Structure formats: structure tokens, C-alpha cells
Amino acid sequence: MSKLVLTTDFPDLKLAARGKVRDIYDLGETLLIVTTDRISAFDVIMNEGIPDKGYVLTQISAFWFRQMEDIIKNHIISTEVKDFPSACQKYADILEGRSMLVKKAKPLPAECIVRGYISGSGWKDYKATGSICGIKLPEGLKESDRLPQPIFTPSTKAELYP
């Protein structure tokens, strides 16, 4: 696949935002979303990355956007670098497979967590209520215990980093 990409630096493109994983460039009428190999936990970006994480996340997203496009419109213009503006072409080796050219739209700040273990904010919630996000769990669980079955919970979306 590709080399580890922890950040992008395209000096002739306008960086609009840098999130926990994605770098977003404002191309005027459109945005370029580049998914890096950064990892984060509890809204802290780690120094290490996971090789090809950005590639895999982009391919999963592209798959689901294609699957759902006859149900609801989405913002995707293209995931093929050859279709991107000429200013992006010199970065093709980094962009290939890990980027999307998209229409500008108002983001929906939603995030979710599939939890297999009880830790972090889930542990705090469980200690206080015996539940995580209103999902009742068995009594007597200890921090970092494996849950009887994974649960799907909402989360808050961290602000983008300048």
C-alpha cells in the first residue's frame, strides 16, 4: 500500500481544518478531505500512526456512501485523484485511495463508539448509573472488563484543530 501519513502539508492548497484523523483543504467551490493514519484516544492525537488506516477508512466510507446514494444524497464528487483539480495532482502519491473531493456542506457533528470494554467515559457513566448512555449493563463489572456483547453508543464530536 502506502507510506505512513500522519499529517499532510500541501503549501499551495488552503488548509481549512485539521481534525483528529482528517485534514481538510478548501479548494474554493469544493473541499479536499484527506484521511491520515493518525490515531487518537479520548480526543488525544497520538504520536504514532497505523499504516494505511487512512486508506482503509476512506475505502469503507466510499463504499457506504455508494451503497446509500440512492436513499440519500451525499457530498462525494469523486474519490479518484485523476478527477481532482490540477492543483492536487502533484500530491497524487499521498492522496491516492485516502482522499475525497466533496461538495461543501454543513457538517453533522455526530460520532459514535462501538464499545467492547468498559472504560473511559463509559466507566464513569456505569459507576454513576449502572448503564452506559442509558444501556443497562450487568452489576459488578470492573473497569476495563469485557462487555457481554458490544454496545453502540453516541459520543460528542471533538472540535477541529487549527
Provide the residue range defining the domain that includes 21.
Answer: 14-103
C-alpha cell at 121: 467515559
The whole-number pLDDT of residue 2 equals 61
The whole-number pLDDT of residue 41 equals 78
Same domain for 78 and 132? no
Whether 101 contacts 34, CB under 8 Å? no
Q: State residue 90 phi and psi, 5-degree precision.
A: -70, -15
The whole-number pLDDT of residue 100 equals 98
**Count of structural domains within the chain:** 2
The whole-number pLDDT of residue 162 equals 47
Q: Is residue 6 in some structural domain?
A: no
- The CATH number that applies at residue 29 is 3.30.200.20
The whole-number pLDDT of residue 159 equals 59
Query: Mean pLDDT in each 10-residue stretch from start to end of the chain (162 residues)?
Result: 87 95 97 96 86 96 96 95 98 97 88 89 94 95 96 74 48
Same domain for 125 and 63? no
Q: Is 88 helix (H, G, I), strand (E, B) or coil?
A: helix
